[in-house]
Amino acid sequence: MFMADIAGVRVLYTGDYSREEDCHLCAAEIPQFSLYFNSEKMAKTIRRLAEKTLEVGESVSGLLVKKAFTCQIMALDDLHVFSQLSTENISQRITIAYNGAFGVLKHRLKQIFESVESLPDEESEGPAFRVHERLTVKYESEKHISLHWRSDPISDMVSDPVIISILLILILITSYC
């Protein structure tokens, strides 16, 4: 169905693709109608977020779920109650064969990153340092170092150049030997 302007007359065309002749209605026969939409959106807080009464202007932080034209805001911990989805934290660890000096690695990473801080020995069981408060580099033995981080986009982005730097240092060490 569509509106056509034929010889100055507006006509509503209703073609049904059958062998019967098409039906044309003049514009005067088309009933007038209007659609009104409420542009306000309302979201209800549920479960843990609904336990606290909010004041006017106070913000709420949670997960927005749209279902059947309704919006609900829930705490991330409540997601498993309303769906079959679950949330997990992934800790990543990579161990790299590294026979270079641990201080050289720290020095090179300080040249690349703004924040490289040593960790106390009692916290890390040996020499270790943290890059951008996200990635921990530990000296495991004379032949191994390990990297530890919680997986998220920023930490993964920090870990990539650290791993590449370690591999480049290994390439330089082996090329001089």
- pLDDT, tens digit, 9 for 90 and up, residues 124-138: 677 899 999 889 999
Predicted confidence at residue 81, as pLDDT, reads 75
What are the two backbone dihedrals, phi and then psi, of residue 150, each rounded to the nearest 5 degrees? Answer: -85, 130
- pLDDT, tens digit, 9 for 90 and up, residues 62-113: 888 887 778 888 887 777 777 776 667 889 999 999 888 888 889 889 998 8
Q: 115 with 131: CB under 8 angstroms?
A: yes
Q: 121 with 127: CB under 8 angstroms?
A: yes
How many C-beta neighbours within 10 Å does residue 160 have? 10
Predicted confidence at residue 22, as pLDDT, reads 60
Distance CA 85, CA 62 (A): 16
- pLDDT, tens digit, 9 for 90 and up, residues 147-174: 999 988 888 899 999 999 899 888 887 7
Q: Comparing 17 with 88, which gets the higher pLDDT?
A: 88
For range 25-54, the mean pLDDT = 73
What are the two backbone dihedrals, phi and then psi, of residue 58, each rounded to the nearest 5 degrees? Answer: -80, 140
What are the two backbone dihedrals, phi and then psi, of residue 134, each rounded to the nearest 5 degrees? Answer: -130, -35
